[in-house]
Every structure is written in structure tokens, then in C-alpha cells.
Structure 1
Amino acid sequence: MSENEKARDLLRRAQEAVRDDAHTTLRQLVGALVDRGNTGEILSLSRILDAGGPLPGAPRVRVALIGSFTADLLGRVLRVTLRRCGIEAVVDVYGIGQYGSLAADPDSDLYRSDPDFVVLAVHHDELGLPGHSTAPEKDVEAEVRRWRSLWRTLRTNSRARVVHWLFALPDDLVVNALDVRLPGSRYSMAVRVNTMLAEAAGKDVLVVDCDRLAGAAGKLAWFDDRSWRMAKQPFASDVLPLPARETASLIAADLGRAKKCLVLDLDNTLWGGVIGEAGVHGIVLGGDAGEGFVRFQRYVRVLKERGLILAVCSKNNPADAKSPFQEHPDMLLRLSDISCFSASWEPKPEQLRRIAEHLGIGLDSLILVDDDPVERAQVRALLPEVEVIDLPESSWEYVRTVRAHPLLQQAWATEEDAARADSYRARAQAKQYEEESETLEDFYRGLEMSARFAPVDAGTLPRVAQMVVKTNQFNVLSRRHSAAELAELVAGPGALHLTARLRDRFTDHGVVGFFLARTHGDTAEVDSWLLSCRVIGRDLERSMFGVFARQAAATGVRRLVGEYAPTQKNHMVADLYKRLGFGLVREAPDGVTRWQYDLVQQGLPALSPFIEEES
């Protein structure tokens, strides 16, 4: 079947899925079509999706697209790429070159639409730099200040997160080869502007590196003078999916939609050949033939260092599967890098279920990398929640293929990210220890847990902001405050807040809990209460509540009020307030319940007897 025939077949099946309301099938077809990266196919898919309903349970966002070029096609492609990330979006496209006036006017249509994200899509002609400068540092700093001022204006006038497109720099920006050596050349200054804007963005602005994307596509293919003359679009229509997918993946990561765990097959995925047949010294790894596998392992190891959990899912004898990690000289990944190792002859869907259970995460947090098309098809059919990556035939293409996946993006990084894999590996060890313990109390005591509770500060705010967008299971209200909103909330009058850091015999889990309430007179009402999934089931919520109640009582609070709002994923905390002694005040038709705890009549609640409070 030719590529055109494959595309027609995928589109036909998508149309049937829309007609039959087959959401799972449609989600997989959208992924297949968007990942192909063909603009025409994505636009055809856009028309098909318009005829159907929204994805059930998908977050809904409003995206404002403002910039310096005609962006109608971009808006359509962006909406589909967001759908590929499991997000239903309304994308409002504003007129060419209006971004400055829209941002400056507090009563503009931009702000009246109340967007969740504002995408500032600008191209290189908007750079306010001279052709050559005798004071390049001054000119670069002035240009950076101009764009940062625009960011501040957008954030001041709206609650939206800003997504800024860095400048793709065309070849004709360079006069000759000397430009790269001249600090005052327009090209050198533009490169520096991009770098400084990326550094200045911090955790408040999301950044799309369009110059890198243009380089990947090939700048001669990216820039299209004819497209600019005819449609005021500075790049070729064929490359539209690249910046759209990058933008969508950053928005998805910011909303906590990125996958948490990369599950790796072994044979012909981490090395060439079958370990059970070739033995540890017969597999292809390293050297000319196996360098592609080494490069892939190096990339995967960096993902782990950035906070992605690694797991292994292999049909193999356990001893054979582990031997390259322990013995092969060219093996970069070690067993200590793998948080959960599953090697058996069970079907892979069963192994994946066990991996998710041992790590304490949902199946929809997993993304499988496997070279076998039969295994991939079985997982897609039986576990549609699991994202599956199709590996190409050549191991040299593995890195490029996995890196392109939109649900492996990161919006920002925190200090805890590097230790996340260790924490989840410790959770898997604790899970095994729990299974071996005779009683739950024995399990708790044997963990030798201790916790430190402290207010949110500048050091823990980035981690708290990350948890707020990512935590789904233990999250009573699932409010998705941005980092800037959180900073304002915790600094506001009447705010009571704390973080929880947990240690046990296996590891230091870092900051894993957050509690925020706002006081009104003698009442404190819970705004956010969440725990990382890697420490669920440790009784930490009891200690968090006890410490918070003690803190609230010291400020004169007499009543604690909290609400639970059900989502698809937080059923485990439906009875949280009841378990902690709150009384039910009311239950709304939509399932939202309101609870109250009287500190005067009921007294201060006790902390968990299994967790030592650190001073």
C-alpha cells in the first residue's frame, strides 16, 4: 500500500469512527495521522473532526493565536495537534500584526475571550535590530526587554499562559560567513536574542524553538518567499505541523498531559538480536553495527535524568533479560536506572498492568517503545490508555522517532525531577515489601517514614506548580493554578499553606504533598490538597491534615471547610474528608460534596502514628 493509499485509509477510518462515536479508535487514528506530519492530511482530518463531538473527559482550553503573519491554517492544524494530545481546544486566530495593540488594550477582544493560552507567533521581520550594531549588547538587551514587556502585559491583563515562538532565522539574514564571528551582525544579535528570551522565560512563559525546528526541516524548505508574497505566511505550508506539534506538546505538558513512564522493550529495542538466543556477548550493541542502540540508550538515560520514569517490559527469562545491564561493556543503562523491571512470558498487556500497579500510576501514564508490530497492536487493542510508539526499522532513527512524540515534552524542570526515578523505584520496592508484610501496620512501621512540613517558599514553588498541573489521583478539587497564580495565592492575605516532604527506608521522595487554604474570619476553606501518586497509601494525608489543623488553630481558625469535586481520576479521595472526621454539609447534583471540621468541638486531629514529624 502506497503512502497516499495509507493516508486515504486512515482518513476513511477516522470518518467512520466519528460517525460511530468510537472515541478510542478515533484517538488512535488522530495520533497516526498527526504523527505523519502531512499538512493536507491534518487539514482533511480537521474537517472530519468538526463533524463529530468532543473527546469525553478531555480538558477544554481556549487558545488565542496572535502574531505577525496570517495564521488561519496554523490555527486549524494547532487544534488538531492539540486533539492528538487529548485536549479539546477552541483556537481563536487574530489578524496579522495586531499582537501589540491587542495586548496593550485591556478591553480588547483578546482579553474578553478569556484565553487559557496566548500563542505569540512572530517571525524574524519583527526583530527590532539594526543591520549592524556598534553596541550589540545594548541593542540585544533592548530587544529582549521589549518582548519581556509584552509578556508582562499579557500576563497582567489575563490569566493566560504565554507561549512565545522564538525567531526562525533565514539564511538571507547572513551577509557572509563572517557574520557568526561579528557580535554586531544582525544574525549574531538575533541568535543572542533567542538565547536570552529562552533564559528569561523561566517557568512563566513556554518557549517554542522555531529556529531548531526550521533547522530540522531544512531552512530552504521552511522559508517560502512565495507563501509570504501570496498569503503573508513566512514559511511553507508543508512545515506547519512542526511548530503546531511543538506548541501543542508544550501546552499539553503544562496541563499535566505528558506521560510519566517510558516502558522499554529489550530485544531489538535496547540492543540488536534476541538475548535468550545470542547470549550477553552475542547481541548487537556498540561498534559500527550497534552504535544506533547505544545512541538510543544515551537519549533514554537523559530522559530519566530529566524526570521520566523508566520501566522494562519484555517477553524473556528474567535472568537473561537482566544480564546485559549487568555484564555488557557497551550497555549505558543499568538496572539502577529502571524503576520497574518486568521480564516474563506473560502477555505484555498483563505486564503493563503490573508495572502501573507497582509504580502507583495509571495506565494512561505509560508510553511503550517496542519494535514488534504484533506486540504493539495487542497493547493498542487491549490497553488503549497506553500510548504506543512505532519504532522504525533502523536503530539510527530511534532517537528521532521517540523525541518527536508530543507526549514526551517538558514544560519546565525542577530539582525533584532528577530524583523521580529513584523515588518510583523505591515505591516498587515498597510495594513488594507490602506484599511480604503480614499486616498493614507492620508495613507502615517497617517503612521507617519521616516527614517534614514547611510553608511554600521560593525554593519549593516550582515543584508545587509542577504537582498542581500533573497530580490527578489524590487531588480533591483539581484546580490547575499556574506558577504565577500560586505565587500570588500563597502570598495573599489569609493564605495558609504547607508542603510535605517524605522519607522512608528506601529513599527521600522529596516534596510530594501540597495543602493550601484561605481564611475568612474564623473559617479556613481548602483551595488545593494533593499528594504525588508515588506516596499514595502511606497515611501521609493524615499527618498533613493534623499539621495544617494545628497551624490553622494557631491563627484563630475554628472551622475547616473543604470540598471534593469528582473527576475521572480522583475517585480515591471521594471519602477523604469523611475518613478524617469531617461532617458532610451538602452534596450537589454534579457530585460535588462540601465538608466541615469543627476544631473547637472535635479538637486537633492526630497525626499518623507511622510517620515521624521532622523538626
Structure 2
Amino acid sequence: MQHVEDAGDRAGGAQPPGAEREPQDPVARALAAVSGQQVPAQRACLDLARALSSAGDARRAVQWAFASIDAGEDFAGWLAASRLWQRHRVDLPAAPRRARVAVLGSYTTTQLTNLLPLACARAGVDVEVYECGYGLYRQELLDPTSGLHAFAPDVVVLAVDAAEVDLPAGVDDPGAAVEAEVARWTSLWDLARERFGARVVQHGVVVPPDEPLGHLAARVPGSRSALLRRFQERLGELAGSPAGQGVAVVDCERLASEVGKRTWSDPRYVHAAKQAVSLACVPLLARHTAAVLAAQLGASRKCLVLDLDNTLWGGVLGEVGVHGIALGTGAAGEAYSAFQRHVLALKDKGVVLAICSKNDEDLVREVFEQNPDMLVRLDDVAVLKASWEDKPTAVRSIAATLGIGEDSLVFVDDNPAEREAVRELVPAVDVVPLPAEPAGYVAALSRYPFFETDALTAEDAARTDQYRARARAAQERESAGSLEDYLRGLGMRAEVAPLGAANVARVAQLLGKTNQFNLTTRRHSLADVEGFAAHPDWHAQVVRLRDRFADHGVVGVLLARRVDEPGGAVLEVDSWLMSCRVIGRTLEDEMFGVLVRQARALGCARLRGAYVPTAKNSQVAGLYERLGFSRQEGADGAAGEGSTGWVLQVPEQVTTPGLIEVQVEITAAAGGPGGGQDDDVPAQRRQEQEVAR
């Protein structure tokens, strides 16, 4: 018997029980108001948050306060949501990321700094904010006695406006003038990185709409508008180059174009309060600054979970059939096709796609395989869940299949009832509401800011293939006779390389975002990693894993430092982490075997490491003990609150499970005490090809 959605589902969701009568309970009344809207309004979400707060439900109150700021940019509404969040933040689990953020402005930034902690909390980052004095951004960076230096920021936000850019119209050499001004601003990046090791978030400038030359300015290279546009382009180019490592740009020109430049900057605020961004637009700027900052710290979302009927295509598949869905032609069909193109663009930058639909799977597969208007293909989808189970259960199953946290998922469904079920029962999942008209779907998803990425790597582009391979491997695991048989059947091959130009960006990315298998969760910057690669005392494993399903890319990192001590040299593990994609495959045992061989080659008598507990890494709490390390007396707490220290006398050899073929390239120290090279091995590098049996 074929299943189809009921009429209530097709119409956007049946009314909740009792919705036909005015609820007396404040929470029920506020919830009914929200449930009655296809896209909940900011005020309705805030009213529900207040009702839940009064009822003592801190988690849901903050959840709906966040939903209220997702729903709009009303400044007063953001302030109210901020107060509510501040009231309940002590009742909630700690955010997975923390950072000290300095906002250095060329204009009055007080309103921005007031809203930034809320925006960052929504993005999953707990921040402490420092605001420099008005226009004192350069002085505070230069002065070692300034409050900025005492604050020691992890992130520096350069909040500047076009008025601060020294590019007058009519210069003799426009290109040279732009380059000189660009150098003046990039010198601030260098100061922030050199003095604090900080990441930088640069606000791009907005080209003012008032141009005396009018349209002629587009044809005059020395016009103020042309100079500012070229200046902005050059900042973006440099931020994306090796010289701009650790620098991200907020495209304020794009944000201002979205709302209108005369809305973005109100002359009344500029003249009266030196506030370059109007109050109406400060929430938008805070939201996108937080999203870019969160991406730098590895807090972006990973997976887009999509409904099908009336979401990815028009119509109910069970009623209209494979070729009857709205797609490709007509106003509605073109809108759904545009939405699919946007979804594919997200996939191309590394967002993993999953399907969660109440449908017959065989019929769904026919659409993907037989409908010529489908742009999203099955090969683009990591997990396909088409069944009749409830959406919250299916969403949890998708997270489990991919091996990622539920807080990595973003759920998109046209049905308000389904969205509300996921929001209530799987609260870690972000929910993006869609408007009634499919023509608005692209804008709705485009406005969602937490798919920002700090950089694009080859692993990002191949991420869906890697997660789809993981899903296929999970299916095989269920049918395997034993775990060992399953793992051996994967045909895994690990390539272990030292740090180098080809992998430092990926290593920095993994250090910034890996949580579950991460013994210390130290967030080293790209500049730090490049320094490790150049330092003779630092030694690393950068591990790439392949199996018969996919090349998973660089998935493991182990950074260790050789330390000379009276009792003999020690190889001290600074960071040891693996991508969640390969947890449970015995790769950590093979990395330990390589670590032991590295220690012996470097003349080290002992291995030392620490475990620093976080909210997400409990699965590695016993790793050192399992590998034979002993608790080190007096070392507990030295690496952080609740941390434990571990030490091991370097053994003669290590027996590993032997389920992975391992190829190792080890960089040994170039001479020096305990270098440990054999006479027939080159001083700078020796290649060790091994197969673990």
C-alpha cells in the first residue's frame, strides 16, 4: 500500500491540539502564536522565549531567544533577547568554543560590542569582548601598555568604515595609491598576529552611495568609488593568500547592498554619535561577524538535511508520480530548480547533503535516477533516509550514520509541524524555516549564516563523497560477521607524512574544529603550525586514510615536541586528534606505533602526554592508559582544569592490530643530540616504508 502525506501536511502542517481555542497558559498561548506562522516572526519568538523564561525552562527560553534573532534584525528585539540569554546562560552547558575578542573600531562600536556576545553564543562560541577607545585601533595595537595588550585577544575584529580609508579622488597613480593604503591596513593584521597570535576579522568597507561624478565614476579609475572598490578587492585577495593566513573578511558591501546603503548608514547617527552603521543594521553586522568568527574557530555547521516534497521539488511524490513533480519548468518549477542549484553550491564548498523524507525509498530513488530535471543527484547525497518514521528519529539516525554530532546538522523542511518536532526533540539541530512561496527558498537558506568556512581545501570539496563512503561502510559493518572482519575488509591504507607546505592548512583546520577524538583540544593557528614545521624540535604525523570506498583525505594529526631533560630526552605529545570520520578503525593504535618509532629515532627515553577533558572528548579519556601509559605524579591539572598527565618508557617495539596498511615518511632531526639516524640515512629525511601485518 502506497503512503502519502495527509492534507494537513501538504498544506503546511495541521494545527496543534487545542489551537482552535485560545490557550490560557502563557507558554501554550505563545507557542500557538508561533505555530500559526509559516515563518515565525521575531516578536512571536521573543514572546515565547519570555513565557518559557517565566516558567523556568531555561534551555527552551534561550532556544527561542536565539530563534527570535534568527527571525529579524529589530535592534530592540535583539537587546531583549540578549538580556534573556544573559539571565539564563549560567543554567546552560558551556559553549564548545571560547575566545577573547577585541573590537577595534574607527567609529563608535558600542552597540556592536553589546550585541556581539549574543550573536557569538548563537554561533556556538562563548566570547569575552574588549572594545577599544573611539578611533584608537592603531594606537592600541602599537602601545604595549594599552588595555588591548593586557586583554591579550584571541581574535581581533577591525571594524572600520570607508571614511577611514585614505584614498582621495583624483590621485595621479590610482594603482599605487590603493597598494599603499592596502599595505597600511595589512600592517595591522601583522601586528595582531605577531603580538597576540590572534586571528583577524576585517570588516570590509562600504562604498558610499553619494558620488559627485555620478555614473561617470565607473569610467574614471581615480574616482573615490573606483578606488574604494579596488581597495576592497585587494584586501580580499590578500586575505585569501598565504600572506593573509588567519585573516577573514566580512563582506559589508554585500550586507549593505542587501538592506540598502541609505539604510546601512544613517547620517544622523554618523554626525551625532560617530556611528557609521545605523542601529537598524547593527544586528545584521553582529550576526555575520559572529558567523565568520565562528568559522575561524571551527564552529561551522557541517550537514544540510533536506526534506523532499514541497522542499527540494514541488508536489507530493506519492500523488503526482516521478514525472509529475514541479521542477524545471513553470514559475514554481524554476524556483525549485534554483533552490537545488543553491544546495549544490553549498555542497561544492564542503557542506554534506542528507535527505530526510516521509516517502517510499524506491519511489524517491526513481526521481533521482529518472527525472531529467533533477539537478541534485544521488551521488551528491551522503545519506538518504526515506521512510515513514518520525523526522526527529530520522534526523538522529542521519547524525549517527555520518558519525557527527547533532549540533553539526541544519534541518530544512517546508512543513512547520515537522520543523517544530525537530526543534523540540532534537534541540541541537538548527532549523531553517522556509516561506510559503518556493521563490523565497534560496533567500531563506542564503540568509542562514553558519555554513561559513574559514578556507576551502581539497578535503572540503570531497566531503560528501567521504561521508557517503562512511554510510556505505556502516551498512557493511551491520552485515559483517565480526568487527575485525569488517575492518580488514575495508582494505584501509594510511599514509603518514611530516608537516609541510602541502598539509599545514589542513592541519590547522583540523586543530581548529576537531572535538571528539582530541586529547588536548589546543587550537593552534596556521602561523603556529607553520612554526612547528620549521622548528627542529617539533615532530608530527599527518595521516591520510584511504579504503576501498573512498580517499578520506587528511584525517589524523599528532604533534609532538622533543624536550631535553636531566633524565633523558622526552617526546612530549602536544596535540593528538582524528577526524570523527575514522574513529573506531584502530588508526590511533597505528599512530601510536609510529610515535614510538619516532621517539626511538630521536633518542627519546620517554613519551609524555596529557588528556584535557572537554564536553565532547570523553571517548579518549582512557586512551593513554589503554596504550600502557602510567599516570604521572604531580602533572594533573598542569595542562588545564581537570587534566591528567601520562608517561611511558619508550618500548622496544609495539604490536598493533595490523588492520591498516601503513606507509610512513618520518622526518628526523638533522643531527644534534639523540638524532638517532642510521649512518646510511640522509641527514634531513629518511623514508620508512612499512606494512603493518
Give the match's secondary structure for 1:133.
coil
State the match for 1:30 in structure 2.
65
Which residue number corresponds to residue 574 of structure 2?
Answer: 527
Counterpart AA for 1:603: E
Query: Where in structure 2 are the equivalents of 1:84-483 lying within 5 Å?
Result: 84-173=122-211, 175-202=213-240, 203-288=245-330, 289-483=332-526
Q: Which structure has the bigger radius of gyration?
A: 2
Residue 182 of structure 1: how far off its partner (Å): 2.2
Distance 1:361 1:562 in 2: 26
> Partners of 1:594 and 1:389 in 2: how far apart?
43
Flag the 1:73–1:267 CA change in 2: closer, same or farther, 3 A.
same
2:615 matches 1:564: no
- The separation in 1 between residues aligned to 2:194 and 2:57, in whole angstroms, is 42
Structure 2 residue matching 1:568: 3-state secondary structure: coil
Q: Structure 1 stretches of 5 or more lacking a match?
A: none
Task: Give the secondary-structure state (helix, strand or coil) at the position aligned to 1:451.
Answer: strand
Tell me which moved more, 197-206 or 522-531.
197-206
Q: Partner amino acid for 1:260?
A: K
Name the structure 2 match of 1:574.
Answer: 621
Note closer, same or farther for the CA distance 1:353–1:10 as it changes in structure 2 (3 Å cut): closer
Kept in 1, the 8 Å contact 2:611–2:643? The answer is yes
SS of aligned partner of 2:312: coil
Deviation of the 1:554 alpha carbon: 0.5
SS at 1:407's partner residue? coil
Structure-to-structure mapping, 1:60-71, within 5 angstroms: 60-71=98-109
Q: Give the whole-Å Cα distance in 2 for the aligned partners of 1:340 and 1:174.
A: 55
- 1:582 and 1:22 map into 2 onto residues whose CA distance is 44
Once the two structures are TM-superposed, the CA of residue 579 in structure 1 deviates from its matched residue by 2.2
| 1:422 match: secondary structure | helix
1:167/1:457 Cα in 2 relative to 1: closer, same or farther (>3 Å)?
same
- How many residues are treated as equivalent by the alignment? 612
Matches of 1:6 and 1:183, distance apart in 2: 45
Query: Counterpart of 2:544 in structure 1: which amino acid?
Result: R
1:296-353 CA distances to partner (integer Å, 9 max, x unpaired)?
1111111111111111011100011222211111111000000011110011111112
Structure-1 separation of matches of 2:429 and 2:326: 29
Give the stretch that moved more between structures: 303-312 or 181-190. Answer: 181-190
Q: 1:42 aligns with which of 78, 86, 101?
A: 78
- Which residue identity is paired with 2:428? E
Deviations 1:339-369 (A, max 9, x none): 0111100111111121111111111111111
SS at match of 1:234: coil
**1:38–1:488 Cα change, 3 Å:** same
Q: What letter matches 2:621 in structure 1?
A: A
The residue identity in structure 2 corresponding to 1:606 is T
1:592 aligned partner, one-letter code: S
Q: Could you list the runs of 4 or more consecutive aligned residues of structure 1 that deviate by over 6 angstroms after TM superposition?
A: none
Query: Within 1, Cα distance between the matches of 2:519 and 2:304?
Result: 27
* Aligned partners of 2:560 and 2:575 also within 8 Å: yes
Offset at residue 9 of structure 1 (A): 4.9
Secondary structure at the aligned position of 2:632 is classed as strand
The CA deviation at 1:7 is 4.8
Q: 2: CA distance between counterparts of 1:173 and 1:526?
A: 58
SS at match of 1:95: coil
Distance 2:44 2:416 in 1: 18
Supply the distance in 2 between the matched residues of 1:441 and 1:594 (Cα, whole angstroms).
Answer: 31
Deviation, 1:64, is 1.1
Distance 1:148 1:436 in 2: 56
TM-score, structure 2 normalization: 0.85
SS at match of 2:103: strand
Q: CA deviation at 1:598?
A: 1.1
Alignment-mate amino acid for residue 461 of structure 1: V
CA contact under 8 A between 1:451 and 1:501: conserved in structure 2?
A: yes
Paired with 2:534 and 2:212, the residues of 1 have a C-alpha distance of: 48
- Distance in 2, matches of 1:344 and 1:8, equals 36
- The answer on whether the counterparts of 2:382 and 2:467 sit within 8 Å (CA) in structure 1 is yes
The answer to whether the Cα contact below 8 Å between 1:547 and 1:607 also exists between their aligned partners in 2 is no
Structure 2 residue 651 is matched with structure 1 residue 610: no
C-alpha deviation, 1:143, in angstroms: 1.0
How far is the alpha carbon of 1:569 from its aligned partner?
Answer: 1.0
Structure 1's 339 and 9: CA in aligned 2 closer, same or farther, altered over 3 A?
A: closer
Candidates 541, 551, 555, aligned match of 2:598 = 551
TM-aligned CA deviation for residue 136 of structure 1: 1.3
- CA RMSD after TM alignment: 1.9
Q: What is the DSSP-based 3-state SS (H/G/I as helix, E as strand, rest coil) of the residue aligned with 1:310?
A: strand
Cα shift readout 1:47-70 (whole Å, capped 9, x = no counterpart): 333333344221332211111111
Among 502, 520, 530, the alignment partner of 2:545 is 502
| Kept in 1: contact 2:42–2:69 (CA 8 A) | no
Specify the code of the residue in structure 1 equivalent to 2:201.
Answer: V
Structure 1 residue 20, shift from structure 2 partner: 5.9
Contact 1:30 1:84 in 2 (8 A): no
Quote the residue 2:27 is aligned against: none
CA contact (8 A) 1:496 1:552 kept: no
Give the Cα separation in 1 of the matches to 2:479 and 2:465.
Answer: 21
Say which SS state the counterpart of residue 433 (structure 1) adopts. Answer: helix
Cα 1:174/1:268, change in 2 over 3 Å: farther
- Measured after TM superposition, the shift of residue 281 of structure 1 is 1.1
Query: Retained in 1: the 8 A contact 2:66–2:81?
Result: no
Indicate the structure with greater helix content.
1
Separation of aligned partners in 1, 2:311 and 2:583: 32
User: Quick one: structure 1 residues 56 and 440, their matched pair in 2 at CA, closer, same or farther if it must change by over 3 Å?
Assistant: same
Q: Distance in 1 between matches of 2:448 and 2:130?
A: 25
Alpha-carbon contact 2:492-2:661 (below 8 Å) kept: yes
- Secondary structure of the 1:97 match is coil
What displacement does 1:469 show? 1.3
- In structure 2, the gaps of 5 or more residues are 1-32, 664-688
